[in-house]
Every structure is written in C-alpha cells, then in structure tokens.
Chain A
Amino acid sequence: MSWKKRNAGGRDEPVVEGGSRSEAVRVVMTRLRPVGPEIVVTLLLIVGFGVSSALSPFFLDADFLFRQALLYMEIGIIALGETFVMISGNLDLSIAGNLAMVACVSAFLHGQVGIPMEYCVAIGLVLGTAAGALNGFFVATLGLPSLTVTIATMALYRGIGQILLGDHSIQKFPSWFLGIDRKVIPGTPIPAPFLIFLLIAVVLGLVLHFTVFGRWVYSIGISSKASYYSGVPTRRVKMALFTLSGFLAGFAGLMLDSRLLVARYDHGTGWELQAITAVVLGGVSISGGRGTAFGTVVALLLIAVIQTGMGVANVKVESQLAVIGALLVASVLLSNVLGVGKKR
C-alpha cells in the first residue's frame, strides 16, 4: 500500500476550484498541467544561472561548474531511483542509509578482511541490490506501508555501517579504485561521474517513458488496485522498483568512496532529504502517477546551483539543509495550490 493514504488530512474532500480563477487562466493551467513543473523548474534553473553568473564572474567557468556538479552526482543517482519509487506512489527513505552501508561494507571487506577490491565492488553492488529487495519484500509481499518499512531500514542499514566502522574511517583502497571524479572523458573536460549520471538518467528515462514496464509504474501510481485488476503484476513491479532503488544506492555508495577517498558510516547523512526534494521539485506528484526523469535531473541541477550560491555566500551546511527542507515543503505546497499534483 502506498504511503499517500496515510495522510489523514482529508485528501478525499472535494477540492474547491474555479470561482476566483478566471476561465482563461484555467484553460492555460489545464493545458500546461502535463509539463508544468518541468517548465517551471527549467526556468528557475536558467534564472539561477543568470543570477549566479551576474553575482560572480567566476561562476560561468566550465571547470568550476563541473567541479561543483561533481558533488551532487551521487545524490542524483539515488534521486533517479527515488523517482521511480515515488511515481509508483511509494517512498524509499532508506536510500542514503543503504548508500552508507555499501560504502562501509566494501571498504571493510577490503581494508580489514583483505578481499581484493574487484570482489568488494561486486559484493557492494549485490548488497545494495539485496537491501533494496528486502524493502521490496516488506512492501510488495507483506503489504506494509513503504514509509514505515524504509524508516526502519534507513536506521538498520546505516546502523550496520556504524557497527562495522564505528567512529573510524577506512582509507585503504587500491589506486585504480580512487578518484573517479578526476577521470575525464578523453579529449573533453567532462568528468566521468557526470557522464555516468547522464547515462543512467537517459537509460532510466527511456525505460520509464518508452516501455511497458514504465507505463506500469505510472498506472500503479494512479491506482494500485485498478492496475491489479487490469492485469498489471503489481507486486513484481513494486519489488523491481525497490530493488532498482537499492542497486542505484549501492552504486552511488561505491562512487562516493572513490570520490572522497575514505569510507565512513555517516556518508550521505540527510541525502534522502535532498534526493526527495529533487524528485518532488522536478514535478513527481507526491501521490504518485506523474513525473519525469528529466524533471528530476533539472531539479537536481537547480538544487546544486542554489547550494553552490549559498556556499559562496558562506552559509553553513546545516543552514543550507534548512533551506532545502523549506524548499521541499514549499514545492509541494505550491503544486498543491496550483492543482498540478492532483489525482485524476
């Protein structure tokens, strides 16, 4: 069952519409509804770029932009998994915990146990995928609310990382594994993680928008019950979504180890918030059933621009998080007010 139904605030009440709003505006709104949030967030990104480059002459420097964008590629990857999960009307809060667990376990197996790093990478990917599948088992097979399940596994997965590493960090990695952020596409200034992120986004976008599976995800998000009765294998699809989300989290965890040169249990603390903010800001309806991979990518870049701007203005990290939190609530509020995320 989906978490949206847990909102007791009377979602089922008839929404009063029209009246104050003129007919012409309403027609435009209805026409724009399918792409509204994506357009808004793209415009905001352009405005953000304009403002930032006006404030600082160094902003529009390709090197600087790539270096800043590199800080958000792991969040971007887990946000893409979250996009799928949220379009299906579920929620995965465990992505950042899963990321930390994979980062810690692979580092521990190599640094403390002495297993070659090639195997550790494989084990990490399998572990992340299995952790995602565990979420899927509880949600799809046992029929539990995804919110409660993933709150539990959020603590469990990060906790496993903490048990292994405690307050220590592991820095023992082979040189081929380290510094993925410093590898570039030969002949261009484009860093490898950036390309990886875009590739994942394109592949997942194609899956979401051009395959039967993708249509199933939307149909489950609109009505799980109706999908079930019209022959969609709802359980298997949900299972696949959480598994995918887990795999991407594991992949991002390994990428983070490689970029930061160190494994710690508090890797990616609070990233579930940033990922969900990107997804919601990018136009995925909080009640499921609408959204695009493109929207998530653009919203992530917008968040990166905003945080870079605050960083340049010397705003502390904790206060930056406060702004992201407010942004999350505001974007949902706004889309509720405009009626964008409303269910058909």
Chain B
Amino acid sequence: MTKSGVGKRSGKRHYGLLQVRELRAIALLVIVVVGTYLIQPRYLNPNSLRSILIWIPLVAIIGMGEMMVIIIRGIDVSVGSIVGLAGLTVGMLFRDVPGFPVFLAVILSILIGLALGSLNGAIISRAHVPAVIVTLGGLSAYRGITFLITRGSQIDGNYIPKSLIRWSQLGPFGIREVPWIVVIVLAIALLTWVIFHYTRLGRDIYALGSNPEAARLRGVAVQRVTFFAYAFTGALSGLVGLLYSSRFGFLNPGQTGVGMEMTVIAAVVIGGVSPFGGSGSVLGVLLGCLLLGAVNVALAVLGIAGAWQLAVYGAVILLAVASDAVFQVGLHRADRSE
C-alpha cells in the first residue's frame, strides 16, 4: 500500500501472485464440493448444480463492477440499495402500467443504476470524499428513497411479466440447466474482460490501483477512471434490480438487495481481488461467486439453517483477507510496522 511496497510488486511476481489467488479459489472450491459430497452424496446431482448456477448471476454481475472499485482501492457498499431502488421502480411500472415492455424496463433499470452510481462516483472523484463514507450514506439514503416511493408495499409476482420470469427458467434453445440470466452474466464478464485487457481504461484501472501517485504522474486521468468504476458498478446493480424480479418473482422494499453488498464483497475478495488494490481478474471473481454459491447450496443440503449465512460470509471475507496478508508478507515486510 505504500510506494516502496507496491514498487516491489511489479513485473512477473505480481502476475504470479494473481495466479496463486485464483488457484486458492479453485482449491477451496474442490474442498467444499468433495467434502460436502462425502457427507451428503445428494449434493452432486443436476438439480443442486443448477441451484448453484442460478445462485451466481445476481452476485457475479455486480461483482464485475465491485472488482473494479476494489482494484482502485475503493469500496462500494451501496450496491444492495441501488438494486432495491432500481428494481422497485421498474416493478411499480410493471404494476401501474399494464403491458410495460420488458426491453424498456431493462434500459430504465440500467439508467437508474447508472444515475445513482454516477452520483457516488462524482462525489468520490470530484470532492475527494472517501468511498466508504459516500457509499455508506448511499446505502441508507437509496434504501430510504425506496421506502418513500413504494410506501413500504411489495410488488407481487402476478405483476411481473411472464417473459421476464422465463429468463431464469429457460436458456437458449430451451436448455433448462443454463438459463438466460447465466448467459447475461457471461456476456457481462466478457465485456469486463475486454475492458481490462484491450482498452486503455482497463490498464489505467490496474495502474491506479497499484500505485495511485505514480499513475497520476504518468498521466492517468484519475478522476475519470474513478468515476467510471462507480458509475459502471451502479449500472450493473440497476440491471440486477430487474433481474431480481425475474429470479425471485417478487420485489420488496425491505428485502430486495438487502445485505447484497456483503455477498458481493465476499465473492470478490475470495476470488482473489486484493484489498491492497491493483490486482484481481474476471476469472477470479467468477470462481469466487462459484465458490460462494457452492458453499451456500452445501449449507442447505447439509441442513444447516439459513441463520449461518451472514457469519459464513464474514468468516469467508476475513479468511480471504488474512491469507492475502500472508501472501504479502515478503512483499510488504518493510512497511508492515506502519
């Protein structure tokens, strides 16, 4: 995190670390799957595999944005509330405007998310207010607005278009195992991968995360890159607001997206995105989501109550971060004392 420490992380060694982090996610995934299978053989059947797959999309989509934010040493804890506000807004349109077209709802939800994310991004990048303060404020402000506009009432399943619900039931060519929302995730992951590897913006994000001061001196447009990361995360969260109604068939101001920031951050951090900034990959985040999904379904199959979920997420983040610290020992020793 300091200049000398980050300087040592450049070059091949940095890349090697990245691979180690992904390997860690794969190793944990194998342990979880094999371990659960040995205790409860019912775990490895097409149905529970499908429930792992269907659990991932909402988290993975936001994870792509959250990854960018954490790579540039930021944090966005307002994503769950953006999901709620965007989802409930289009949900109310479905309820009050019969026959509201789904494609318009897609555009609208993304725009709402983009607007909220841009607000976060503008305050963070222009006014230099720490990301955690801005998004913590957003977490409660956006949730409060959601309660205000809906007056606390739920949008029931019968208002949500059947074609939208089918997105999480059937896939292309009528394949049941890989529904459309999984395809959407893959498309967004591909888009993020292209941004990271084939655009200047993507390289700037890594540069900014590795060493903000050096990046600024090298001419990286710090404010624009920072703004983009939060706006992108917001837009993705908005889309997830719509997909939530497809996946769960209802929208509730007190439920939709509540606590989602914790799930997303857990998936991103376990997927190898370093809390010190500067490293992380699309593949890693997808693996992280897969791992968290496998753990979640494993808990259900093993008959462990849902009450364990929160503690498990917390423990997962803590373990991932702690093992990160162990990786960094050799690289950061000089600054450890600080």
A→B interface (CB under 8 Å): 1, 3-13, 91, 93, 138, 142-145, 147-149, 151-160, 162-163, 166-167, 224-225, 228, 234-235, 270, 272-273, 276, 280, 286-287, 316, 318-326, 328-329, 332-333, 336-337
Q: Closest Cβ of chain B: how far from A333's Cβ, in Å?
A: 5
B→A interface (CB under 8 Å): 1-2, 72-75, 77, 123-134, 136-145, 147-148, 152, 208-209, 212-213, 216, 222-223, 225-226, 253, 262, 265-266, 269, 275-277, 305, 307-315, 317-318, 321-322, 324-325, 328, 332, 335-338
Contact A8 B74 (CB under 8 A): yes
Contact A152 B335 (CB under 8 A): no
Known interface pairs A3-B130, A153-B318; A325-B136 also in contact (CB < 8 Å):
yes
Contact B332 A325 (CB under 8 A): no
12 contacts between A and B (CB under 8 A): A6-B73, A13-B216, A145-B1, A155-B311, A157-B314, A160-B311, A166-B305, A273-B140, A287-B130, A325-B140, A332-B129, A336-B127
Contact A156 B318 (CB under 8 A): yes
Known interface pairs A9-B223, A316-B152; A147-B132 also in contact (CB < 8 Å):
yes
* In the bound complex, CA of A142 to CA of B322 (Å): 8
Known interface pairs A3-B132, A12-B216; A163-B75 also in contact (CB < 8 Å):
no
* In the bound complex, CA of A145 to CA of B132 (Å): 12
For residue B131, which residue of chain A has the nearest CB?
Answer: A7
Chain A residues near B277: list those with CB within 8 A: 6, 8
Q: Closest Cβ of chain B: how far from A85's Cβ, in Å?
A: 13
For residue B144, which residue of chain A has the nearest CB?
Answer: A322
* In the bound complex, CA of A247 to CA of B10 (Å): 41
Q: Closest Cβ of chain A: how far from B67's Cβ, in Å?
A: 14
Contact B321 A276 (CB under 8 A): no
Q: Besides the contacts A10-B125, A286-B129, what 15 more A-B pairs have beta carbons closer than 8 Å?
A: A1-B2, A1-B338, A8-B74, A8-B277, A93-B132, A143-B328, A151-B75, A151-B77, A152-B314, A158-B314, A225-B2, A225-B335, A286-B133, A321-B144, A325-B137
* In the bound complex, CA of A144 to CA of B314 (Å): 15
* In the bound complex, CA of A321 to CA of B143 (Å): 9
Contact A149 B134 (CB under 8 A): no
Contact A10 B223 (CB under 8 A): yes
* In the bound complex, CA of A14 to CA of B298 (Å): 52
Contact B209 A8 (CB under 8 A): yes
Chain A residues near B152: list those with CB within 8 A: 316, 318
Contact A149 B137 (CB under 8 A): no
Q: Closest Cβ of chain A: how far from B7's Cβ, in Å?
A: 15
Q: Closest Cβ of chain B: how far from A278's Cβ, in Å?
A: 13
Chain B residues near A159: list those with CB within 8 A: 308-315
Contact A286 B130 (CB under 8 A): yes
Tell which of B127, B225, B322 touches A333, judged by Cβ atoms closer than 8 Å.
Answer: B127
Contact A333 B140 (CB under 8 A): no
Chain A residues near B148: list those with CB within 8 A: 316, 318-319, 322
Chain B residues near A1: list those with CB within 8 A: 1-2, 335, 338
Contact A329 B123 (CB under 8 A): yes
For residue B305, which residue of chain A has the nearest CB?
Answer: A166
Chain A residues near B265: list those with CB within 8 A: 151
* In the bound complex, CA of A144 to CA of B335 (Å): 11
Chain B residues near A224: list those with CB within 8 A: 338
Contact B140 A324 (CB under 8 A): yes
Contact B337 A148 (CB under 8 A): no
* In the bound complex, CA of A276 to CA of B136 (Å): 10
Contact B321 A138 (CB under 8 A): yes
Tell me which of A147, A148, A149 has the highest count of chain B C-beta atoms within 10 A of its own C-beta.
Answer: A148
* In the bound complex, CA of A316 to CA of B124 (Å): 29
For residue B332, which residue of chain A has the nearest CB?
Answer: A143
Chain B residues near A143: list those with CB within 8 A: 325, 328, 332, 335-336, 338
* In the bound complex, CA of A12 to CA of B121 (Å): 18
Tell me which of B75, B141, B142, B148 has the highest count of chain A C-beta atoms within 10 A of its own C-beta.
Answer: B141
For residue A328, which residue of chain B has the nearest CB?
Answer: B137
For residue A235, which residue of chain B has the nearest CB?
Answer: B337
Contact A10 B311 (CB under 8 A): no
Tell which of B72, B128, B144, B275 touches A144, judged by Cβ atoms closer than 8 Å.
Answer: B275
Chain B residues near A148: list those with CB within 8 A: 75, 269, 275, 317, 321
* In the bound complex, CA of A187 to CA of B147 (Å): 45
Tell which of B128, B134, B136, B138 touches A11, judged by Cβ atoms closer than 8 Å.
Answer: B128
Q: Closest Cβ of chain B: how far from A250's Cβ, in Å?
A: 18
Chain B residues near A3: list those with CB within 8 A: 130, 132
Known interface pairs A6-B73, A12-B213; A326-B338 also in contact (CB < 8 Å):
no
* In the bound complex, CA of A321 to CA of B156 (Å): 26
Q: Closest Cβ of chain A: how far from B127's Cβ, in Å?
A: 5
Tell which of B77, B133, B143 touches A329, judged by Cβ atoms closer than 8 Å.
Answer: B133
* In the bound complex, CA of A318 to CA of B258 (Å): 13
Contact A156 B311 (CB under 8 A): yes
Tell which of B128, B132, B139, B336 touches A9, judged by Cβ atoms closer than 8 Å.
Answer: B128
Tell which of B2, B144, B208, B307 touches A8, judged by Cβ atoms closer than 8 Å.
Answer: B208
For residue B136, which residue of chain A has the nearest CB?
Answer: A273
Known interface pairs A159-B313, A318-B147; A9-B338 also in contact (CB < 8 Å):
no
Chain B residues near A147: list those with CB within 8 A: 75, 132, 275
* In the bound complex, CA of A132 to CA of B302 (Å): 32
